[in-house]
Amino acid sequence: MAEQNSVITAEDKAQDILSLEKASIMREKNSAGKNKKASIKKSEKKISSKNKPKRRKRKIFITLSSIIGVIVCLYLIVAFSNIPFIAYWRGIWIETAMTTGKHHWLATAFFPKNTIDEVMKNYTTNSGVVGGNDQLVMADETRDASNEKDEPANEKRPDDILGQKEISVGDKDYAGNTVLVNDIEEGLIISEIVKGSFRGQIMLIDDPSRVFVGQTQYQNNTGMRILDMMEVYGAVAGINASGFNDPAGNGNGGTIVGLSCSEGNYWGSYLSGYSSIVLTTDDKLVVGDIGSWDQYNIRDGIQFYPVLIADGIQQVTGSAGYGLQPRTAVGQREDGVIAFLIIDGRDVTWSVGCTVGDLAEILMDYNIVNAACCDGGASSCLAYGGEITTKNCSWNPSIGRILPNAFMVRSKKAG
């Protein structure tokens, strides 16, 4: 019995040893497996770590490619689409850029030449249009003969032609705009123009005989600020008039474009293609393609374009090839009242500017029968009472640009 137990014990021990060996082997295998897995994971991490920059670069590349693709698609749509809304604003952009003195690149840098040329076909020069032609009298005709045709406009004027006694500051004028100034003593009314994305001012002057062209004292050298010119001439109000040589927007107003006449004193040269904007000796405003001035009874005038209204008929609609700009215009009612209209521009927080069609429509609301544009852009300004009342886009709006000349209103106080 003891011998049997001894044998069992030996077998058991052998079994135990075998089990321990198996367990040891299994542990070693498990340990090796874990180490292998850990090693694989470490390798994977290393590979993943190495691939991260590549994946990041790939994402950046895809993102940039997508952005560039969207931009290219948008550009192609904007540059070539025939969708009316896009085509209209593309045209406005190109016209606006191409009718500035120094910002043509805003069109030429983004649009092909054929697209620009197609848009600028709409550019209106009013060739052959004349408003008030029947008011022109040959210079060699006698004064008596001219008076038989028409009396001077101021001889027909009622005492209160502007209705100033019936209106106050803050009221609406007859065109529905708010009155800012009602200067009864000087016979002037200034109203505020606010329409859509643009704003400005219009001045009505009761007596056309007081309206004239003033010129810089330093002709062919440098221009003058409008307030300085007004002081020299004893004027109560004024607006910019002629264009001038303005390389890169740095012109000094000394070299006038076109012909100018100030109370019979001529400066510059007549330019074919530029409209005439003249006041006759009978105080009538004539606008358009009248040819040489020497043959007519002209006392004051300038050249610019386009004609807005001729003999009561609106001559331009929409942008007419001129885009959105600050604008200056002069016009006259049938009864002789003169209008100065100025629209501010190039300031999205105030006024972006208007089209020439907008100008014409405003003046039609004031019953203007003949009108034309003066120079615009940064030169556009209205001055009254010793200060500039509009918000021009020159580098210093309080004094405006240096100008070659200006349409002015002689003060009644000056005699």
The tens digit of pLDDT for each residue in 216-261 reads 999 999 999 999 999 999 999 999 999 999 987 888 999 999 999 9
Mean pLDDT of all residues belonging to the chain: 87
Average pLDDT on 196-210 reads 98
| 174 and 316 belong to one structural domain | yes
| 104 and 134 belong to one structural domain | no
- Residue 306, preceding peptide bond in cis (omega within 30° of 0): yes
| 85 and 134 belong to one structural domain | no
| 229 and 313 belong to one structural domain | yes
Tally of domains in the chain? 2
Instruction: Provide the 10 A C-beta neighbour count for residue 41.
Output: 11
Q: What is the dihedral of CA 60, 64, 67, 68, to 10 degrees?
A: -170
Q: Is the pLDDT of residue 393 over 70?
A: yes
- Predicted local distance difference test score (pLDDT) of residue 344: 98
In a domain? residue 6:
no
In a domain? residue 347:
yes
| 297 and 372 belong to one structural domain | yes
| 115 and 182 belong to one structural domain | no
Residue type at position 210: R
| 99 and 224 belong to one structural domain | no
Task: For residue 84, give its domain range.
Answer: 57-121
- Predicted local distance difference test score (pLDDT) of residue 31: 62
Instruction: Categorize the per-residue pLDDT at 84 as very low, low, confident or very high, splitting at 50, 70 and 90.
Output: confident
Beta strands in 248-366 (DSSP E): 259-262, 265-268, 275-280, 285-288, 298-304, 307-310, 313-314, 327-333, 338-343
| 288 and 334 belong to one structural domain | yes
Q: Kindly give, in sequence order, each residue whose CB lies less than 8 Å from that of residue 261, ignoring residues fewer than 6 positions away.
A: 213, 267, 278, 293, 298, 299, 300, 301, 302
Q: Kindly give, in sequence order, each residue whose CB lies less than 8 Å from that of residue 5, ignoring residues fewer than 6 positions away.
A: none
In a domain? residue 42:
no
Q: How far apart are CA 295 and CA 206, in angstroms?
A: 28
| 182 and 329 belong to one structural domain | yes
In a domain? residue 380:
yes
In a domain? residue 405:
yes
- Predicted local distance difference test score (pLDDT) of residue 35: 62
Question: What SS3 class is residue 286?
Answer: strand
Whole-structure pTM value: 0.80
Say what percent of the chain tops pLDDT 70: 82
| 274 and 240 belong to one structural domain | yes
- Predicted local distance difference test score (pLDDT) of residue 227: 98
* 266's tokens: 């001529």
The tens digit of pLDDT for each residue in 101-134 reads 667 788 888 888 888 888 777 777 788 899 999 8
Q: Is the pLDDT of residue 100 over 60?
A: yes
Beta strands in 32-110 (DSSP E): none
Boundary of a domain, candidates 121, 150, 174: 121
- Predicted local distance difference test score (pLDDT) of residue 143: 44
| 117 and 178 belong to one structural domain | no
